[in-house]
């Protein structure tokens, strides 16, 4: 029997696990009680790591799609096929004809974090897309405008706060996003015991809302008005607090004019919260010695997600709650990815061809990927490379995007499954995954409320003829990168020499706690060798005040009114007017489940025991009654772009006027090889979502607040 200590890579919480194996088989997976970060906590998904490891559907060798079905081929043949086709398409149509889409797991995988950016650069395309434009792009865009770096995320110092205001996040289920916080339920209880007040604003009474002291329903997509009223109140009552961050913030004078007219009384009816409640909320927030306003998906994937996140940052600054304990702070991770990505963290350098949507950090918004595939002309996408992504389930307007994938000249996927997207590929290159790979969390260490580091060796070795993701990416880069032959030879030799472990070691050594760097860590600093000895991880302590030094803006100051915001505000005003004459359609919102993870974890028996009950459309009893819908009825839900058939779940957990459907389902395509998921197919909510509606500042997808028509389905479906 052997015990392995390992960080779970499945979500942002970074829980430490204790995995017991016996003769190459997993005996059990438990929370590691001694892990410096999670202290024994784990969620049900961690146990399914065993299912991922043992899943017979998981690909281990390259496959090629043929008339007769999928055929296993050698790595050499697979790489040859990719090289030949990418080079051909690039030669005939130019670099932009090759599109790339990188999905959510790339942020959680050491190999892809380390080698993917170089690989994408080697393709020489502007058509690069990523799942973060279905998610936190507005937050990144605003961080870029205000702090000079898209990854400079303000992270709640949750354990030390007196007031925690949560908008559009459900950390008790998501386990914290842009706030890596395992066991947040227990943290909430501890906070409440010491008198901290927790308020949740969400159109659904989620688990997080239930655990809070106060929950307010809010009409989907209207937080921007509530937040403007918040700033209005702060300025009108002179509740702005002096702080070192306020001192380095410019243009505060202009704010007053921007929020003029957005009084609690004005916005109350539109947001669905009384003016008295809004005022009380703001007063309580201001009175608290330390307070945090925190928002995630529900205020990001909305029409004015960027403005919402600008307002959230602004409120934290104006109330003296930025860069101080108990407020929002910035991490200083052991490997400083922010410094490493300084050059890449630019925005607005180019725009997409068809809709002129902006570039951020080298990528274009995923909502326009279908346009770029389907609109003829120079630079139209003819070939695709996807890495750990399933955009046909996760991006808006799946039917349109599917047309795009169907007409590609060539498509290669680096993925471990034949799923709804990769089934369109010509070739799939599957890397070693989950327990077969080393793990160091570069990205999520940036958003952890404490500065921590943990290195996990692989639990299982892989067969000699299999490959790690970095080996696949390096090989492809070597074959398709263009440039001076000599310098490429040198570069590629270096790529091979700088193995993942060497890169981690170097990053740690030159980092702030490293033996060559800041040595902020006792005993002369860390290296990979030293980190490896600490199998439960190292905690370098709480976040520390770091402004203005940590800012990436040229003048080391924060612009409180970025130009892009000024351009956006007239649209907010216009929307306010439109909302006054809102028609009575239901507004769509999403829902995450503790045992789902976006689209890709429905193939694991341990997580799917209640799989058939999860993909339902929740609506309030008043709305059901109006439409003659009974619990469990099949309903037809439609928009201008699609229509789905889904079971009604009548619950007063959601506010009237709302329809709540989870994403990541719809595994009924007979071409997918997902034996368990196919049995609990569910439906794909993204068939309903129009890709021509987007967050206009950054081009992020809009999943919340989309009007939908609902009626009972005539005959009972099977």
Which residue in 4, 5, 6, 14 binds ligand SF4 (CB under 6 A)?
A: 14
Site string for ligand SF4, 647-666 (x = CB under 6 A): --------------------
**Which pair of structure tokens corresponds to residue 53?**
């490891």
Q: Is residue 439 close enough to count as binding ligand SF4 by CB under 6 A?
A: no
Q: Is residue 170 involved in binding ligand SF4 (CB under 6 A)?
A: no
600-639: which residues touch ligand SF4 (CB under 6 A)?
none
Binding partner selected for residue 663 from Mo ion, ligand MGD, ligand SF4, none, CB under the kind-specific 5 to 8 Å limit: ligand MGD
* Distance separating alpha carbons of residues 259 and 229, to the nearest angstrom: 7
* Region of 86-94, 156-164, 170-178, 314-322 interacting with ligand MGD (CB under 6 A): 170-178
Q: Which stretch binds ligand SF4 (CB under 6 A): 37-45, 123-131, 350-358, 602-610?
A: 37-45
448 binds, among ligand SF4, Mo ion, ligand MGD, none (CB under 5 to 8 A by kind): none
CA dist 633 → 35, 616, 620 (Å): 46, 10, 14
Handedness of CA 234, 239, 245, 248 (dihedral sign): positive
In the complex, minimum distance from the CB of residue 479 to Mo ion, in angstroms, rounded to a whole number: 31
Distance CA 419, CA 671 (A): 8
| Among positions 13, 357, 434, 607, the unique one binding ligand SF4 when judged by CB under 6 A | 13
For 205, half-sphere exposure in the C-beta direction (CA atoms, 13 angstrom radius) is 13
**Lookup result for tokens 């380095």:** 248
Phi-psi label, residue 314: left if phi above 0, alpha if psi -120 to 50, beta otherwise = alpha
- Parallel, antiparallel, or unpaired for β 634-638 and 706-712? antiparallel
- Which partner, ligand MGD, Mo ion, ligand SF4, none, binds residue 512 by CB below 5 to 8 Å per kind? none
**Whether the Cβ atoms of residue 109 and residue 500 lie closer than 8 Å to each other:** no
- Which residues ranging from 2 to 21 are in contact with Mo ion (CB under 5 A)? none
Q: What whole-number distance in Å separates Cα of residue 420 and Cα of residue 674?
A: 10
Nearest distance in Å: CB 534, ligand SF4: 19
Q: Is 385 in the site for ligand MGD (CB under 6 A)?
A: no
Decide: residue 36, CB within 10 A, 0-12 exposed, 13-18 middle, 19+ buried: middle
Distances in Å between the Cα of 224 and the Cα atoms of 45, 54, 235, 239, 256 are: 34, 46, 17, 20, 16
Q: Which does 664 bind (CB under 5 to 8 A by kind): ligand SF4, ligand MGD, Mo ion, none?
A: ligand MGD
Can you tell me which residue has the tokens 């051909």?
88
| Subset of 113-152 contacting Mo ion (CB under 5 A) | 135
Residue 668, number of CB atoms within 10 A of its CB: 13
Residue 645 CB, shortest distance to ligand MGD, in Å, is: 17
Which of residues 86, 137, 302, 615 is near ligand MGD by CB under 6 A?
302
> Which one of 4, 6, 37, 45 is in contact with ligand SF4 (CB under 6 A)?
45
Interface pattern 388-417 for ligand MGD (x via CB under 6 A): xxxx--x-------------------xxxx
Residue closer to ligand SF4 by CB (options 29, 480) is: 29
Q: For residues 325 and 717, is the Cβ–Cβ distance under 8 A?
A: no
Rounded-to-integer distance, Cα 601 and Cα 596, Å: 6
DSSP 3-state helix, strand, coil percentages of the chain (rounded to 5)?
35, 20, 45
| Residue closer to Mo ion (CB basis): 411 or 600 | 600
441 binds Mo ion (CB under 5 A): no
Q: Kindly report whether the peptide bond that precedes residue 107 is cis, defined as omega within 30 degrees of 0.
A: no
Q: Does residue number 179 form part of the binding site for ligand SF4 (CB under 6 A)?
A: no
State yes or no: residue 168 binds ligand MGD (CB under 6 A).
Answer: yes
- What is the rounded CA–CA span in Å between residue 366 and residue 626? 37
Write out the DSSP string of 386-444.
EES--HHHHSS-HHHHHHHHHT-SEEEEE-SS--TTGGG-SEE-PPP-GGGS-EE-TTG
From the list 321, 596, 698, 700, which residue makes contact with ligand MGD (rule: CB under 6 A)?
596
Cβ atoms of residues 157 and 128 within 8 Å: no
Q: Identify the three-state secondary structure at position 198.
A: strand
Out of 426, 598, 616, 700, name the contact with ligand MGD by CB under 6 A.
Answer: 598
CB of 1 to ligand MGD, least distance (A): 27
Q: How far is the CB of 104 from Mo ion (least distance, A)?
A: 5
46 contributes a contact to ligand SF4 by CB under 6 A: yes
362, interface contact from Mo ion, ligand SF4, ligand MGD, none, CB < 5-8 Å by kind: none
590 binds, among ligand MGD, Mo ion, ligand SF4, none (CB under 5 to 8 A by kind): ligand MGD
- Tokens representing residue 341 in the block: 């990505």
175: contact with ligand SF4 by CB under 6 A: yes
Closer by beta carbon to ligand MGD, 241 or else 609 = 609
Site map 53..72 versus ligand MGD, x via CB under 6 A = --------------------
Stretch that binds ligand MGD, among 145-153, 213-221, 273-281, 564-572 (CB under 6 A): 213-221
Task: Bin 268: left if φ > 0, else alpha if -120 < ψ < 50, else beta.
Answer: alpha
The residue range among 295-303, 368-376, 507-515, 517-525 that interacts with ligand MGD, by the rule CB under 6 A, is 295-303
- Decide if residue 305 touches ligand MGD (CB under 6 A): no
Q: Please report, to the nearest 10 degrees, the dihedral formed by the alpha carbons of residues 50, 54, 58, 61 taken in order.
A: 120
State which of residues 85, 174, 397, 477 lies at the interface with ligand MGD (CB under 6 A). Answer: 174
Does residue 597 belong to the site contacting ligand MGD (CB under 6 A)? yes
| Residue 206 touching ligand MGD (CB under 6 A) | yes
Q: Which entry of Mo ion, ligand MGD, ligand SF4, none binds 658, CB below 5 to 8 A by partner kind? A: none
Does residue 42 interact with ligand SF4 by CB under 6 A? yes
Q: Which long-range contacts (CB under 8 A, 24 or more apart) does 271-274 make?
A: 271/218, 271/219, 271/222, 271/223, 271/225, 271/226, 272/217, 272/218, 272/219, 272/222, 272/655, 273/201, 273/216, 273/217, 273/218, 273/226
Name residues whose C-beta falls within 8 Å of residue 716's C-beta, 6 or more positions apart in sequence. 633, 634
Q: Among 116, 115, 190, which Cα is nearest to 160's?
A: 190
Helix (H, G, I), strand (E, B) or coil at 143: helix
Q: Angle 193-196-199 (CA atoms, 0-180°, nearest 5)?
A: 120
Distance CA 453, CA 12 (A): 14
CB of 683 to ligand MGD, least distance (A): 11
Footprint of ligand SF4 (CB under 6 A): 8, 10-11, 13-15, 42-43, 45-46, 175, 182
What residue ranges bind ligand MGD (CB under 6 A)? 11, 103-105, 109, 131, 134-135, 167-171, 173-175, 177, 201-204, 206, 218, 220-221, 223, 296-299, 302, 387-391, 394, 414-417, 419, 431, 433, 469, 589-590, 592-594, 596-600, 663-664, 685-686, 703-705
Interface residues with Mo ion (CB under 5 A) are 135
């Amino acid at each position: 029997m052997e015990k392995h200590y390992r960080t779970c890579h499945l979500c942002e919480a970074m829980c430490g696990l204790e995995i017991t194996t016996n003769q190459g088989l997993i005996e059990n997976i438990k929370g590691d009680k001694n892990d410096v970060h999670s202290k024994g906590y784990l969620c049900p998904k961690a146990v399914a790591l065993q299912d991922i490891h043992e899943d017979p559907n998981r690909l281990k060798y390259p496959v090629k799609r043929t008339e007769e079905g999928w055929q296993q081929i050698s790595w050499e043949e697979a790489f040859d096929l990719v090289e030949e086709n990418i080079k051909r398409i690039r030669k005939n149509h130019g670099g932009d004809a090759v599109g790339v889409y990188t999905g959510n797991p790339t942020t959680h995988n050491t190999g892809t974090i380390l080698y993917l950016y170089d690989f994408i650069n080697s393709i020489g395309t502007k058509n690069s897309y990523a799942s973060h434009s279905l998610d936190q792009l507005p937050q990144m865009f605003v961080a870029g405008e205000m702090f000079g770096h898209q990854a400079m995320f303000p992270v709640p110092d949750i354990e030390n706060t007196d007031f925690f205001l949560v908008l559009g996040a459900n950390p008790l289920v998501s386990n914290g996003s842009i706030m890596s916080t395992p066991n947040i339920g227990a943290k909430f209880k501890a906070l409440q015991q010491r008198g901290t007040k927790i308020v949740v604003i969400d159109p659904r009474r989620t688990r997080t809302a239930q655990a809070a002291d106060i929950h307010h329903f809010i009409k989907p997509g209207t937080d921007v008005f509530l937040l403007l009223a918040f700033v209005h109140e702060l300025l009108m009552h002179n509740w702005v607090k002096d702080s070192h961050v306020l001192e380095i913030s410019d243009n505060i004078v202009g704010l007053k004019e921007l929020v003029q007219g957005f009084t609690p009384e004005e916005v109350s009816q539109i947001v669905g919260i009384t003016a008295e409640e809004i005022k009380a909320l703001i007063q309580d927030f201001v009175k608290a010695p330390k307070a945090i306003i925190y928002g995630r998906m529900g205020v990001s994937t909305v029409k004015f997600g960027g403005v919402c996140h600008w307002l959230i940052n602004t409120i934290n600054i104006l109330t003296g709650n930025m860069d101080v304990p108990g407020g929002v702070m910035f991490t200083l991770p052991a490997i400083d990815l922010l410094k490493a990505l300084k050059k890449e963290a630019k925005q607005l350098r180019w725009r997409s061809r068809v809709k002129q949507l902006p570039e951020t950090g080298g990528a274009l918004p995923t909502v326009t990927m279908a346009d770029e595939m389907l609109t003829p002309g120079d630079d139209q996408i003819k070939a695709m490379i996807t890495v750990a992504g399933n955009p046909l389930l996760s991006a808006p307007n799946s039917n349109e995007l599917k047309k795009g994938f169907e007409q590609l000249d060539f498509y290669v996927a680096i993925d471990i499954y034949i799923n709804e997207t990769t089934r369109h590929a010509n070739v799939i290159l599957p890397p070693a995954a989950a327990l077969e790979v080393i793990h160091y969390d570069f990205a999520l260490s940036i958003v952890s409320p404490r500065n921590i580091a943990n290195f996990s060796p692989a639990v299982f070795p892989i067969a000699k003829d299999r490959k790690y993701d970095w080996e696949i990416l390096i090989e492809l880069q070597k074959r398709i990168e263009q440039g001076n032959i000599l310098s490429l030879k040198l570069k590629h030799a270096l790529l091979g020499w700088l193995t993942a472990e060497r890169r981690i070691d170097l990053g740690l050594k030159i980092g702030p706690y490293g033996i060559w760097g800041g040595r902020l860590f006792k005993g002369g600093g860390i290296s990979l060798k030293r980190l490896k000895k600490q199998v439960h991880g190292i905690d370098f302590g709480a976040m520390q005040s770091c402004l203005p030094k940590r800012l990436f803006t040229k003048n080391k100051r924060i612009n409180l009114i970025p130009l892009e915001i000024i351009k956006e505000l007239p649209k907010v005003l216009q929307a306010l007017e439109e909302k006054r004459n809102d028609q009575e359609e239901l507004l769509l919102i999403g829902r995450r489940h503790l045992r789902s993870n976006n689209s890709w974890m429905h193939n694991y028996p341990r997580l799917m025991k209640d799989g058939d009950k999860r993909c339902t459309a929740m609506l309030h009893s008043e709305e059901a009654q109006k439409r003659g819908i009974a619990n469990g009825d099949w309903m037809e839900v439609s928009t201008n772009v699609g229509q789905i058939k889904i079971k009604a779940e009548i619950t007063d957990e959601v506010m009237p006027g709302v329809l709540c459907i989870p994403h990541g389902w719809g595994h009924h395509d007979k071409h997918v090889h997902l034996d368990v998921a196919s049995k609990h197919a569910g439906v794909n909510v993204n068939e309903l979502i129009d890709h021509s509606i987007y967050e206009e500042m950054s081009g992020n997808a809009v999943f919340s607040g989309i009007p939908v028509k609902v009626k009972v389905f005539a005959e009972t479906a099977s």
